[in-house]
Structures are given as structure tokens and as C-alpha cells.
Homo-oligomer: A and B are copies of this chain.
Amino acid sequence: MNWGEQVAARRQRVYEQRPLVHHITNLVVTNLTANVTLAIGASPVMAYAREEVADMARLAQAVVLNMGTLTGEVVEAMLLAGKAANKAGIPVVFDPVGAGATPFRTRTAQRIIKELHIDILRGNASEIASIGGFGGHTKGVDAAGAPARVADMVKQVARDLNTVVAVTGATDYISDGERLLAVDNGHPLLTLVTGTGCSATSIIAAFRAVEDDGVTASTAALAYYGLAAERAAAASQGPASFQVALLDTLYNLAGEELARGVKIRAL
């Protein structure tokens, strides 16, 4: 199978297996990421209480930890859910939103990476640079001052942390420390809607739930998502109609049409 066929096959598996993805995510994107998860055919559950996160994580086929609006209690819930998932062999995808922006976020990201086994780490270039010790500066939760050689950094951080790293941007890079892939699908309107990075993480988690290889899962998810964004942008008048079209397109895009549109390169 070529990459296009592989992407379409994984998207089909999500649709057929309808994996349950447990999210502990931020207040800004809770609704959007639940709807993205539904639109692609998976099943979301958002649960935060320390009293139940371990139980909920064990019911899921993948767990998303997203630190966009951290509090002390949410960190505790993330660690409980993550440990339960690790113990049960359920993949954990971590989105370190805003790492590098404040000491609290940087410290929390490092703690989560240290105490949990993270299957896939998804962020923008400056977040991953901050975690990997590559410097850079995070302006709020948006990327800024990212190193020029993002691809090299992705591979290095993946090797150092022994995980799959997926960095999204104009070009997305995915690596497990050995393999390095680039996805050229996407559209600038993604930067004008809040939670589009978090949505990428949710889709990666749903693909990872049905595909054991984290590099394949992440690459397929990001190509599918980026292509949907391209199609949606062509049908929209601004960021809000783009968001509506993006979810509709994720729902409709599959098969041949998906396979033909993906742009994936091995580096």
C-alpha cells in the first residue's frame, strides 16, 4: 500500500471500530474536540474528576492529556488517568499546550513526561523545543521563535524521550527517533481557529487506538486532517465558516478521495 491507501485504511478502521477516546483537556476546546472525535467516527468521553479518571481511562482505547488550562487538580487527574492507562496498555497522547510560556506549564509538562509513559507527544515547534531543551520562546500558547531546523529537533526529542513526536505547523514532522516523516497538507486558516492543534491531537489518538505504530498513526491522522483543512478552506468565507466546513469535511472525507490528496514525504 502507498501512503494514500494507508491513510484511507486507518480512517476506515476508526469509522468501523469507533474507539472510545478519553480526554482530559482544556476548557477552551472541550466542545470542539468532542465534536471532532464524533465527526471522524470515534467516541469521545470528557471526564476530569479524580474520583473517576482512572476508571474512565481503563474503559477507553486511547487517552488524551492536554494541558491548555491547567490547574493543580487537573494535573493530579492527568497523572491518575495516565498511570491507569499505562498499566492497562492503553496509549497516552500528550499535548503540552503552552509549554515554555510560564514556569508552571514547563514544569508540569516535564513532570507528566517523567511520571508517565507517553506514546505520542503532539505540539507546535516552540512547545516541543521547550520540552526538549532547545530554547525558543512561547508567546501565550502560540508558536513563536521556533528553531529553523524543526525536523532535526523532532527527531532528536523523539530519541531523547523515547517516544513518538509529532510537531504541527506549515509542514508537520513526525518521528520516533529513527524514522522521520513530513506532511505537507494543511492550511493557514487553521491558525485562526482556537483548538485546531488540540483537534489534531484528538484525531491522532483515535488513529493510534486502531493502529499500534505511533508514527503511522500520527502521520496518517495529520495528512487526513490537513487535507480536510484544505478542502474546508476552499468552501469558507472566514475562520468560523472554516471551522464548520472542517468538521463537515472530516465527516465526509474518506476512501479514494482521501487517498489521492495526502502529501507525505519520508525524510
Contacts and interface: CB of A to CB of B under 8 A. Distances in A.
Interface of A: 20, 22, 26-32, 34-35, 38-39, 43-49, 51-52, 55-56, 59-60, 68-73, 98, 101-105, 139-142, 191-195, 236-241, 243-252
Contact of A98 (B38, B45, B72): B45
A33 to B, nearest CB: 9
Contact of A35 (B51, B193, B237): B193
A236 B248 CA distance: 9
Contact of A238 (B47, B73, B252): B252
Most buried by B among A20, A104, A238: A238
Contacts of A27: 27, 30, 46, 48
Most buried by B among A20, A46, A236: A46
Contacts of A249: 238
Given A30-B28, A52-B70, A47 B102 contact: yes
